[in-house]
Amino acid sequence: MDLLYYENFKSCSYFVPTYKRQGTYFKINLNGLNVEANFESINNGVVKIIRMGNNFKKSYWLHIYTVYRYFKDKGEHIKRIVLETSNGSYEINVSDILLREKWIKKELNKLKSTKKVHGPHCKFCKIKNQCHLQFLREGDYSVVPNLSKPMIEDLKNMNLEPLTVIKTNQIEKLDKRFKKPLYNLKSLIENQVYVINKNSLPQDYIVFDVETYLNKDFLFGFLENETYVPFFLGKNEYKNAEKMVDFLYEKDKVLLHYDKNDLTALKKLSSKYPMLRDKLNKISSKTCDLYEIIRKNYSLPVVSYSLKDISKYFGFAWKTELNGFAVIPEYKSYLNGNKNALKNIFKYNEDDCRATKLVLESLKTI
């Protein structure tokens, strides 16, 4: 149980994080609970912890206490713990920790009794797919994309059971709002892709994907055919943004992306640099959101319509365990001097581009 993901474990003790954050990890048993945590460094009895939140959260005390206990059990004396967040640094004395020890132990005990449940925490869990399929086998249809609990209740009020509707081929007879969610269920049950609506897919295109740190879009990656072309805006932003815009303007191809955030990043550049606006407006007018195409027109045997889940279904192998959230601590690590962290982000960005292309080309074969 990695305490850096405490809020997720609080929701479900079965949570398995997809990404290990930077730092030195250790394991320790606290009151019968096996937990994991990390620290950044120790120097002359001062232990440094880094958390990615903007402010000091109450739950951070569990992380602080675990680090304190780790060194105490090793017989190493510590003077204090310094916890850094995005907005500040906090010095914690041992007396501050002991003052909260009773509450901390009580909170840790609560983690022993949580049940397996699905929710927002599943997005970053390694065992999400197998858990959701288990829920589905047990009759919990709310894990099916777009098949909401109110919709399930509406079906029940019509004396209709979702599986029965599928097995008796009644989907097309129901109101159109049920169509896509029930095909999503059918796709999962039968492990088959269904085309809900016929549509045209782009033929000549460039894939692009954007990485963001806080409010800064620092990496724009592009894939033309099999060539990956990144533009890093972390340094010399305007100069590199201008190069990127000229590159895209000269290509004059459809820009393929996955969800609206990438297009939003281009529009933000247009607002920031008026001298690039005309070219960016033309570039932005020829874009294609693959997520929207899939959401409206395809049902796939996946428990979420994230790029990772869909591309894995089509056979894409990711080279890193990063995700959109994990880019934040990785980029902060780069800002603190870790050049390998930036290399990892570049690999992840390239993976995003190649995964998007694989999904599109796979859909063309259906």
Burial of 348 (0-12, 13-18, 19+ CB in 10 A): buried
Tell me the C-alpha distance between 139 and 324, whole Å.
Answer: 31
Burial of 140 (0-12, 13-18, 19+ CB in 10 A): middle
- The 3 state secondary structure assigned to 86-113 is CCCEEEEEHHHHHHCHHHHHHHHHHCCC
Sorted by sequence, the CB contacts under 8 Å of residue 325 that are 6+ apart come out as 19, 124
**Tokens (6 digits) for 60:** 């951070």
Give tens-digit pLDDT for 74-120.
999 999 999 998 888 999 999 999 999 999 999 888 887 667 888 88
| Nearest residue to 170 (alpha-carbon basis) of 156, 154, 153, 186 | 186
Whether 319 contacts 351, CB under 8 Å: yes
Tell me the C-alpha distance between 59 and 66, whole Å.
Answer: 12
Give tens-digit pLDDT for 296-314.
999 999 999 999 999 999 9
pLDDT tens for the 366 residues of the chain, in order: 788 888 888 888 888 888 887 789 999 998 888 889 999 999 999 999 988 778 899 999 999 999 999 999 999 999 999 999 888 899 999 999 999 999 999 988 888 766 788 888 888 888 988 898 888 888 888 889 999 889 999 999 999 989 889 988 889 999 999 999 999 999 999 999 999 988 889 999 999 999 998 889 999 999 999 999 999 998 889 999 999 999 999 999 999 999 899 999 999 999 999 999 999 999 999 999 999 999 999 999 999 999 999 999 999 998 888 888 889 888 988 988 889 999 999 999 999 999 999 999 999 999
Within 10 A of 234 (CB to CB), how many other CB atoms are there? 16
pLDDT number for residue 91: 95
pLDDT number for residue 196: 92
| Nearest residue to 126 (alpha-carbon basis) of 318, 298, 358 | 318
**Tokens (6 digits) for 270:** 């247009």
pLDDT number for residue 23: 84
pLDDT number for residue 109: 85
- Whole-model pTM? 0.86
Helix (H) or strand (E) holding 246: helix 237-251
pLDDT number for residue 17: 87
pLDDT number for residue 5: 85
pLDDT number for residue 45: 92
pLDDT number for residue 238: 93
pLDDT number for residue 53: 78
Tell me the C-alpha distance between 119 and 207, whole Å.
Answer: 31
